[in-house]
Structure formats: C-alpha cells, structure tokens
Amino acid sequence: MGGEAPQPSGGMMDPADLTALAARERLADGSLRATDLTKACLGRIAEREPEVQAWACVDADLAMDHAGILDGYRQTGRPLGPLHGLPVGIKDIVDTQDLPTENGNALDAGRRPSDDAWLVARLRAAGAVILGKTVTTECAYLAPSKTRNPHDPKHTPGGSSSGSAAAVASGMVPFAVGTQTGGSVIRPASFCGIVGFKPSFGLIPRSGVLRTSRSLDTLGTFGRAVEDVALLADTLAGHDPSDPDSRPMAAPRLLETALSAPPVTPQLAFVKTSAWADIDADCAEGLAELVHALGEQCDEVELPGIFGEGALAHRRIMLAEIAHNLRPYYARGSEELAPQTRSAIEEGRTISADDYLAALDWRETLYAGLGEIFERYDAIVTPAAPGEAPLGLESTGSAAFNVLWSLMGTPALTLPLLTGANGMPMGVQLVGPRNDDGRLLRTARWLTANLGA
C-alpha cells in the first residue's frame, strides 16, 4: 500500500475527529489514506464502544480490506467517488449482503440478506467504507436498545436510530444512516448533540430496508456538521422503481446548495405546535433566547388549531401499517417480541379502515395549511425534543415534536445549538417545504454560522 501517509495539517489531530467533508478533502489530495481513517475509526470504537454500545456488528477486517482497495484505486489516478474512503455506519434494519441484518429482533438473529439494500449499493459505488451495522431498537419501534448516550451513559440516546446517533456523537464514524417513522432521526440526534437530517419523504429509496410504515418511513442521515448530512443525503438521493414512493427527479445538489450563501437573509417562523405543553423549562428558555438573538429574522407564528389533529392521525397510520408489516413476526413468535412492539401490533389491528383512510387524508390537508408560512418564511424553527435526553434507559424519549413533520413528509433537521440544565445537549429543529431540502440545509448552515458560537 506504499509508504506512510503524510499527517493531516496540524499534525496532531486524530483523523477520527475530522468532519466527513474535511476528511473527504484530505482523502482526495492524498494527505490522508482510507486505511488510516478507517483504522482511526476502529480505534475509537475500541475505546468507546464498551460504554456506548452503538454497534450491532463491526467487521474490522472487511472494512480495512475495502479501505486498502480504495487506496489502491486512488493511485490509478481515476476519478474518485463522492464518498471515497469515508467510513459510514448503517442502521441494522438496512440489508447488507456481507454483514448480518437482524432488525434489532431476536427472531432475526443471524439473518444474512442475499442482496444489498438500494442505498448500500449506492454507498459502495460512491466509495464509502461500510464500517458495520449500528444498533436499532426492535423493528425500529420503541423498545429501548443496549445503546447509551455518549455524553452520560445513564441517559437514553433516543431511538430508534440509537446506534447511528451515538456512533457519530462518539467520533466512531464521521456519518451514519438512520430512519425516521415518528422521530427516530431528529430525536436521537438532539439527545446526542449532533446534526440529524430527515429529508423529504421519498427522497432516498427504501428498497431493502425493513418496512414498518410505507406512508411514513423515511431514510435520514447523521453527522457532526450540516455539510456532512448534506453530503451523505446528496449521494443517497435517487430513484428506485422498486420503492413505490420514490420519484424520478433531477439530482437535488444538496451539498452544493448547502454550501452556497443565501441570496437574501433567511426569515424564520418560530412555531410551538400543540406539543408545547410537554416542553422542559430549560428548552423553552433556550429557544426564547435563540428567537431573541435572531431579532427581525424570526417571528413567532401560531399554527391553526386543526394541526392538533396531526398526532392522532400519525399514530393511526403508523400503528395500522405496523400491524400489517410486522404481522409475520407476531405469527412466528409474539412472545419473543418486546412488549412495546407486541402492543403496537395489537393496537394497530383494532384501527378501522375508515379511521385509517381518514388519517391518511390529514397529511395533505395539514400540509396545505403550511403554504402561507412557507410563502413568507424560509423555514420553521421548533424544538427537536422536549429537552435533554431523559435520565434512565427505560424509554427512548418523546417524539411529540417530530410526528407532525413525519406525517406531512416535510424535510426536517436538528442542530446542536442548546445545552440543558444538566449540561446535556438539546437540538433546535428546522422544518422546510417538501422537496426543497437544499434550501433547508442552506438555512441551517446560515443559522449555525450566525448562532453556533
């Protein structure tokens, strides 16, 4: 593989601490090798994993072999893929041909898919190094996993993408893939103090991913910077006819847009939503300070009372579809399922067809109600979670501030801008109009630059 790679500028920085975009630049110019970056990430896993427990499976030999192949490819002088040499973690509900995919479920122990999911094939083609599978809650629902919050192991990391968020927050991997049906990207990213991005519904195809709710399931990305989540989502966006909700579209150019300067200073709408009664005092205070700091760039806007129907509509859709999609697990061994998963299937079976179809209608009705806001404002500012990650490991926390946006399929992103009373991170959620994901990322980067300090 040649001689030792030059040290990154600055000499002392551990490659595992680089953002994905900074690492990509060094991999491209030859000042960092894929094998060195992968080795650094594996070293961080060895250091932090006993406490954090973010991984369901890591194959160090496979990752290092792949990184070595990529280093050899770079020496040929041929063009590099957009993710050349970058390690990535993949939530363990996404099929991987060369690694187990167990869906966080004892009934799938040892399961080895025969094919890669669409997004995994996309990652490989882009030159990413698949480091391993990150822990998920059982079937991506509510039963807590083994993963701990990297900031304090006595607190939950959130869920269901618990391992992806914790792995990125621990510096074990520059970015990772997760999924959101209710709040499973935004909430754990908020609790773990990183950036989490849930794109518009249908932007990233879900073929080869465990289906819980066709109407809601959305693939998302985790990183330590807005640019990182934009880079990963940009690479994964595309069209796959096997996913009925994937649409043919032009390349979204998410990273390019995120890195560009806004043509005018963004205007933001601060929205509390009907979940505001659940907010912790320190989170409410932090958001008030943020809105004050934004001054004329932010107005408080109240949603019409009809938006209070969103949480019930979301629950009916999610549980009815969970009951349908997870019924094989229930039939094979309901007694081996966690109580949360079992009760979701059982409750879903009681939802009438009339109530389910009426709940589906709420998606477009409520989204139409956002039209006036998005005509005037670039994005909505709202809590990512009620507050800090809760103490204890019996729950993954509340998704009360996420379900409305998951229901409507809007892009959402959380930024680690606040700190709670106990010193734990709290996220600020931005929400944008459907299929304008680049603009939302650009606004988030502007907000980070102006308020991150």
Query: Catalytic site residue 260?
Result: no
Annotated catalytic residue: which of 145, 162, 184, 398? Answer: 184
Query: Catalytic site residue 242?
Result: no
Calculate the alpha carbon distances from 148 to 74, 103, 109, 394 in Å: 37, 18, 22, 11
The two three-digit tokens of residue 433, written as one number: 């109009």
Helices then strands, each counted (H, E), the chain: 16, 11
**258: Cβ contacts below 8 Å, ≥ 6 apart:** 226, 227, 230, 438, 441, 442, 444, 445
Q: DSSP assignment, residue 193?
A: T
The two three-digit tokens of residue 302, written as one number: 């109240």
**330: Cβ contacts below 8 Å, ≥ 6 apart:** 337, 342, 345
Query: Catalytic site residue 215?
Result: no
What single-letter amino acid sits at 16? A
Helix (H) or strand (E) holding 200: none
Residue 293: how many other CB atoms lie within 10 Å: 11
The two three-digit tokens of residue 19, written as one number: 């953002």
The two three-digit tokens of residue 173, written as one number: 């991997």
Q: In whole angstroms, what is the distance from residue 140 CA to residue 388 CA?
A: 21
For 256-262, the CB contacts below 8 A with 24+ separation are 256/438, 257/230, 257/438, 257/439, 257/441, 257/442, 258/226, 258/227, 258/230, 258/438, 258/441, 258/442, 258/444, 258/445, 259/227, 259/230, 259/442, 259/445, 260/442, 261/446, 262/378, 262/442, 262/443, 262/446
Annotated catalytic residue: which of 145, 160, 213, 246? Answer: 160
List residues with catalytic annotation: 91, 160, 184
